[in-house]
Amino acid sequence: MPIDIPSNLPPVLRPENPPVRSLAELAKRFARDVRGDLDGVSLSGITLATGDLRPGEAFVAIRGLNRHGAELAQVAADKGAVAIVTDAAGADLAAATGLPIVVVDDPRGELGELSAWVYGTGADDALPILFGTTGTNGKTSVSHLLEGILGQLGVVTGLSSTAERHIAGEVIVSRLTTPEASEFHALLALMRERGVEAVAVEVSAQALSRHRVDGLLFDVAGFTNLSHDHLDDYADMREYFEAKLPLFLSDRSRRAVISLDSAPGLEVAERSEVPFVTVGTPAIAVDPDAASAADWTVDILDERPAGTRFALTSKDGRSLTTVVPVIGRHMAANAGLAIVMILEGGYSWESLVAALDGGRIDAYLPGRTQLVSGDRGPAVYVDFGHSPDAFEKTLAAVRRVTPGKVVMLFGADGDRDATKRHDMGRTGVEGSDILIITDHHPRNENPDSIRATLIEGARLAQPEAEILEFSPPERAIIEAVRLVGDGDAILWAGPGHQDYRDIRGVRTPYSARELARRALAAEGWPVPEPHWPVPYPADETPLSDPTRDWR
């Protein structure tokens, strides 16, 4: 629901030269009723959040779970809103502001089209090429790989992912996996102003269900896979799957590239309304025969800590060989999907071969199996994966490049899908030599209870395994590093790129990548200089006392 945005969240971006739109024209296109005088009123933007509202914009008030956003109408008016867009109930609540009110049937459902009209970012407007990727795992990786490969082709790029927003080289921290519709259309208008030619977008199931990508038409939609996740938002896996399908309808995309590595890929292909091609990676596919029969296949050639070499081959005989700069067969699958999406987006095969064949993909994937250790000592990988399927694939990748033992360290999100916690514990213990359970984002849950469930799942799978428990994670990584030596590896799954922990609604500064570096340095291992934001003061040494209560 619309609330003031906390100050520690990054701001919503707007075009530098915002449009000037007639409120009367907006009402003519969208309203079923109007209240107040609209004549002569113009607007320069539209938003759901009073905390980000700028003078001259319209405030869209929607009904939330516990209150109606129109209760904040006076706040919006005080901040310079020129109009309220809401439903009939909201119009009654907002009447006292004296602002003109445009009444629509479904403010949330119509926000995308409203925003597209305000910012001139609809399907018929001149826009960058849009690549949208959905699926359970791999969305962020594919998005960053799309951006990296397009950059190698000389394309000016934009990016919207769980980790970051990029605008022609400028990097902004993300809020949501997929921004709200009003934020996204404003971002797209800014990208257009700055000469962005192609944009890679991570599209979550929630974004489709909650209308965050309404008003957009993707030139190419990509599907990675589907596995157990987000059953806090969806009743079951069927409902979760159905939530992703709208991206492959003709009012959402023009073309599609569909991975057949998970079983639902075949159904996505069967139900796609738009022309599509398929891609498969037999080495990781649930059905290797189906993957082998895809239009494009990804064959793994070599796996090393510095990256994974693979060949991408089409049925008509086209082929290129390149390296994705992270470990894992699943990462090669993500790269293959990205390459084919770019080809389907209209870029030539010859240009892709010239940029990639015999070389490597120049892409930075923040917090995706990210190696944060040095060239000597244990390898420490920090990863954003937080589902059983992601654990299984990433642990297998770490195992294949690790001569010694593998330690798995992770926690689970509070107030999120609790049905996957036993499977998280099971896959964690099955893929590692030592399992360490710690905390992640407890939010409003008891972290002791979350850890207990994870440990229970691990014990049920392997009662005799070495399973340790340390809280908080600042201590857990210290203990993990003390258990390993040269040739061993630690996979710290969950936090990835994030620079905070959510503890009872408070975003506490936190960096798993930096904590891992400091734990390694405390044991005398060399560590590279960080190339990510560090949320701690340079002179702070939070790892000096492992017995400190970090909660």
Distance of CA 276 to the CA centre of its chain: 23
Which residues, at least 6 apart from 320, have a Cβ–Cβ distance to it below 8 Å?
311, 312, 339, 352, 353, 356, 357
Residues in the chain, total: 551
Across residues 90-113, what is the average pLDDT? Answer: 96
Same fold, 129-356 and 370-522: no
Please tell me the predicted confidence (pLDDT) of residue 500.
84
Homologous superfamily (CATH) of 370-522 is Mur ligase, C-terminal domain (3.90.190.20)
pLDDT at residue 223, rounded to an integer: 97
Q: How confident is the model at residue 177 (pLDDT cuts 50, 70, 90)?
A: low
Residue 151 in this model has a pLDDT that exceeds 80: yes
| Phi and psi based region of residue 176 (left: phi greater than 0; alpha: psi -120 to 50; beta: remaining) | beta
**Would you state the pLDDT for residue 163?**
74
pLDDT band at 389 (very low <50, low <70, confident <90, very high): confident
pLDDT of residue 461 exceeding 80, the answer is yes
Q: Is the pLDDT of residue 89 over 60?
A: yes
CA–CA separation, 443 and 523 (whole Å): 31
pLDDT in the model for residue 538: 47
What is the Cα–Cα distance from 129 to 117, expressed in whole angstroms? 18
Name 236's Cβ contacts closer than 8 Å, sequence gap at least 6.
Answer: none
Averaged pLDDT for residues 29-45? 95
Q: Which amino acid is at 475?
A: R
One CATH from 3.40.1190.10, 3.30.70.100, 3.40.50.300, 3.30.565.10 for 129-356: 3.40.1190.10
pLDDT value, residue 386: 82
Chain-centroid distance, C-alpha 112: 20
Stated pTM of the model: 0.84
Distance CA 129, CA 246 (A): 19
103 in Cβ contact with 32 (< 8 Å): yes
pLDDT of residue 130: 97
Quick one: pLDDT at residue 230? 57
Report which DSSP code applies to 321. E
User: Which pLDDT tens digit goes with each residue over 286-332?
Assistant: 999 999 999 999 999 999 988 999 999 999 999 999 999 999 999 99
Q: Distance from CA of residue 339 to its chain's centroid?
A: 19
pLDDT band at 11 (very low <50, low <70, confident <90, very high): low
pLDDT of residue 544: 36
The string of pLDDT tens digits covering residues 319-373 is 999 999 999 999 999 999 999 999 999 999 999 999 999 999 999 888 888 899 9
Strands 129-134 and 218-223 come out as parallel
Six token digits for residue 215? 């008003």
Mean pLDDT of 447-457: 97
pLDDT tens digits, 475-501: 999 999 999 999 999 999 988 888 889
Report the pLDDT value the prediction gives residue 306, as an integer from 0 to 100: 86
- Lowest mean pLDDT of 62-76, 286-300, 496-510, name the range: 496-510
Instruction: Give the pLDDT confidence score for residue 542 in this predicted structure.
Output: 47
- The residue-averaged pLDDT of 62-79 equals 94
pLDDT-derived band of residue 532, with 50, 70 and 90 as boundaries?
A: low
pLDDT at 539: 45
In this predicted structure, the answer to whether residue 535 has a pLDDT above a threshold of 80 is no
- H-helix segments, 320-461: 329-344, 349-356, 388-400, 421-430, 447-461
Domain ranges of the chain: 21-119, 129-356, 370-522
Amino acid letter, 234: Y
On whether the 21-119 domain is CATH 2.60.40.10, my answer is no
Token pair belonging to 280: 């498969």
pLDDT value at 543 more than 60: no
Q: CA dihedral defined by 240, 246, 248, 253, rounded to 10 degrees?
A: -140
Q: Please give the angle made by the CA atoms of 181, 187 and 189, to the nearest 5 degrees.
A: 105
C-alpha closest to that of 83 among 113, 124, 38, 116: 38
Whether residue 125 contacts residue 118, with contact meaning beta carbons closer than 8 Å, is answered with: no
Provide the pLDDT for residue 65.
83
Which pLDDT belongs to residue 235? 79
> Based on the number of CB atoms within 10 Å of its own CB, is 96 exposed (0-12), middle (13-18) or buried (19 or more)?
exposed
> Helix, strand or coil for residue 508?
strand
Q: What is the DSSP letter of 69?
A: G
Residue 413 CA neighbour count, 13 Å, CB half? 19
The three-state secondary structure class of 134 is strand
pLDDT at 120 over 90: yes
The pLDDT value given to residue 218: 96
Which tokens in the block code for residue 289? 């025969």
- In the predicted structure, residue 8 carries a pLDDT above the cut 50: no
507 vs 410, more confident: 410
Peptide bond into 447 cis (omega under 30): no
| CA distance linking residue 270 with residue 81, whole number of Å | 46
| pLDDT higher than threshold 70 for residue 545 | no
What integer best gives the mean pLDDT of the chain?
A: 91
36-66: buried (b, 16+ CB within 10 Å) or exposed (e) per residue? Answer: bebeebebbbbbbbbbbbeeebbbbbbbeee
Please tell me the distance from the alpha carbon of residue 116 to that of residue 59, in angstroms, as a whole number.
15
Question: Mean pLDDT across the stretch 165-174?
Answer: 83
What was the pLDDT predicted at 200?
Answer: 97
Retrieve residue 242's tokens: 């159905």
pLDDT for the residue 249:
96
Q: Which residue has the higher pLDDT, 170 or 61?
A: 61
More confident residue, 509 or 411: 411
Q: Distance (Å, rounded) from C-alpha 495 to C-alpha 397?
A: 18
Q: What is the mean pLDDT of residues 225-250?
A: 84
Ranges 84-88, 459-463, 543-547: which has the least confidence: 543-547
Residue 540 has pLDDT above 80, yes or no: no
| End-to-end CA separation in angstroms for the chain | 29
Residue 7: pLDDT band by 50, 70, 90 thresholds?
very low
